[in-house]
């Protein structure tokens, strides 16, 4: 936020170090039981304004898993199982989404498969979203998403979106 880059303008806004530490403590001790993103992308023209005039929002969907894995799991803040709870089973339970958030007989097949060893950097030019605004540009990350299955249908295969079951 030191440069007032509108790509970091989000709501709720980024907070100071004490607030960041309090959020991490809440994640670790269970006070916070879900991690989600509202995925609020904007066009470059919308964000290329004076900070106060730019809209709130950043791309979240395409960065959440890799950022949480890299900066929470790999640093030892939480184990991988806790990440899965925070980003899958707990939100499904909280939202009362029957048959979601678990891998079990009869449950809907909603699965994200990622390569935990794959190292790279966040590059918004590679996003599938029409929005490219992210405060995480060039951040080093691990854990590239390989496959995404939603309700039993593959929507991402080998890191690429698919249409009607065929690679796009």
Please tell me whether the peptide bond between 145 and the residue prior to it is cis, using omega within 30 degrees of 0.
no
Q: Per the residue annotation, which of 38, 48, 115, 151 is the catalytic one?
A: 38
Tokens 């339970």: give the residue: 93
Asked whether 117 and 41 are in contact (CB, 8 A), the reply is no
Which tokens in the block code for residue 50? 């004076």
**Half-sphere exposure for 20 (CA within 13 Å, toward CB):** 8
Tokens 């106060």: give the residue: 52
Q: Is 38 a catalytic residue?
A: yes
* Separation between Cα atoms, residue 91 and residue 33, nearest integer Å: 8
Residues annotated as part of the active site: 38
């Amino acid at each position: 936020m030191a440069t007032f880059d509108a790509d970091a303008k989000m709501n709720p806004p980024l907070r100071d170090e004490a607030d960041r530490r309090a959020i991490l403590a809440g994640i670790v001790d269970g006070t916070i039981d879900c991690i989600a993103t509202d995925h609020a992308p904007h066009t470059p023209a919308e964000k290329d304004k004076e900070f106060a005039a730019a809209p709130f929002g950043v791309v979240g969907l395409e960065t959440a898993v890799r950022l949480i894995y890299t900066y929470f799991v790999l640093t030892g803040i939480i184990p991988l199982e806790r990440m899965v709870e925070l980003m899958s089973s707990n939100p499904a339970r909280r939202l009362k989404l029957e048959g979601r958030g678990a891998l079990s007989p009869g449950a809907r097949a909603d699965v994200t498969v990622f390569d935990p060893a794959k190292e790279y950097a966040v590059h918004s030019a590679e996003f599938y979203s029409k929005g490219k605004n992210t405060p995480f540009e060039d951040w080093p990350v691990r854990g590239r998403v390989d496959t995404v299955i939603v309700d039993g249908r593959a929507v991402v295969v080998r890191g690429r979106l698919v249409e009607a079951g065929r690679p796009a």
